[in-house]
Amino acid sequence: MCLIFTAVAAAVFGVLYFVSNKRRGQGYKSLATAALTCTAAALMWCVDGFAAIAAGEPFFDLSIDNAVLGVIVVAAAVAVFVVPFFFEKRNEKRNHRSSDRKISSEQ
């Protein structure tokens, strides 16, 4: 379940990053960081799945404990996105206000 949750989260964050990149001309770094975090976690669980196959177990662990771990990891990735995102937006507004002041003082 961890692999499924993190792979879906990586795809969602990746799509959001590319959409924001097209709309703004540059993507939010926090989206890229969250996508990279989820992609790395999904790759880690792929390796774990292949090790499980080598040990004679199924590739996907569909237990409740594994699902809870997947939810915790995705929640951590959302936190990795949300906290820097607010700082990016705040700095964006600050830069916009300071550029407005410069333009009004030049006129």
Residue by residue, pLDDT tens for the chain (107 residues) are: 889 999 999 999 999 988 888 777 766 788 888 899 999 999 999 999 999 999 999 999 889 999 999 999 999 999 988 888 888 777 777 766 665 555 555 55
Provide Rg for the chain, Cα atoms: 19
Task: Give the torsion sign (CA, 86, 92, 95, 98).
Answer: negative
Q: Rounded to an integer, what distance in angstroms lies between the CA atom of residue 25 and that of residue 6?
A: 27
